[in-house]
Amino acid sequence: MIDWNKNPWKTLSEEKIYENPWISVTEHQVINPGGGKGIYGTVHFKNLAIGILALDDEANTWLVGQYRYPLDQYSWEIPEGGGAHGTDPLESAKRELLEETGISANSWSEIQHMHLSNSVSDELGIIYLARDLSFGESSPEETEQLTIKKLPFNEAYDMVMNGDITDSLSVAAILKAKVLNLIP
């Protein structure tokens, strides 16, 4: 019987080969589960990934569009950002929603924890549902050139189903809200 909690990999050595304020990359010399020697590269994220699905009483939501440099393409997403480890993730979610969209919410529910790419990274994402909304001015960061789109939730769901939304936090948030029937 397999012991699911026992790590079948053996680390022989590790070397941090790159680091910046957001990530570090480590190369590990390993013995794999089959007994062979190899290498494994891992990316450590220094922040949590935070996503917010904002819903109003008429079942509208807000997407943020931006050009994503690593993909070399435009992406429609729920409002997202980073939250420092050791900081309350809900406070990070409130900050990101306000910063990117100008929206504040009086009601917050955590709806998902997820690992975003667990074959190479330890990045943890937390998704919140925000309701009872009020509206102000957005103030995106210098690195963000954002388009904000208000649309009925079901249109966002259709965008996931037809592949127009591919961002993992957005896909998970929208599908989870649909499956759990969280839409008014």
pLDDT at residue 140, rounded to an integer = 64
Q: Do residues 128 and 90 touch, judged by C-beta distance below 8 A? A: yes
The residues that bridge with 77 in the sheet, in sequence order, are: 64
Residue 170 backbone dihedrals phi, psi, to 5 degrees: -65, -45
**pLDDT tens, position by position, 125-180:** 999 999 999 998 877 666 667 889 999 999 999 999 999 999 999 999 999 999 99
Q: Are residues 81 and 171 in the same domain?
A: yes
Q: Which residues of 109-134 are buried (b: 16+ CB within 10 A; e: fewer)?
A: eebbebebeeeebebbbbbbbbbebe
pLDDT at 16: 98
Q: Do 58 and 40 lie in a common domain?
A: no
Q: Does one domain contain both 162 and 83?
A: yes
4 is a domain residue: no
Whether residue 35 sits in one domain with residue 87: no
Which structural domain range is residue 20 located in?
10-45
Report yes or no on 102 lying in a domain: yes
Return the minimum-mean-pLDDT range out of 1-10, 38-47, 58-67, 109-118: 1-10
pTM for the full predicted model: 0.91
Q: What is the pLDDT of residue 41?
A: 96
Nearest Cα residue to 181 out of 59, 51, 54: 59
Phi, psi of 14 (to 5 degrees): -145, 150
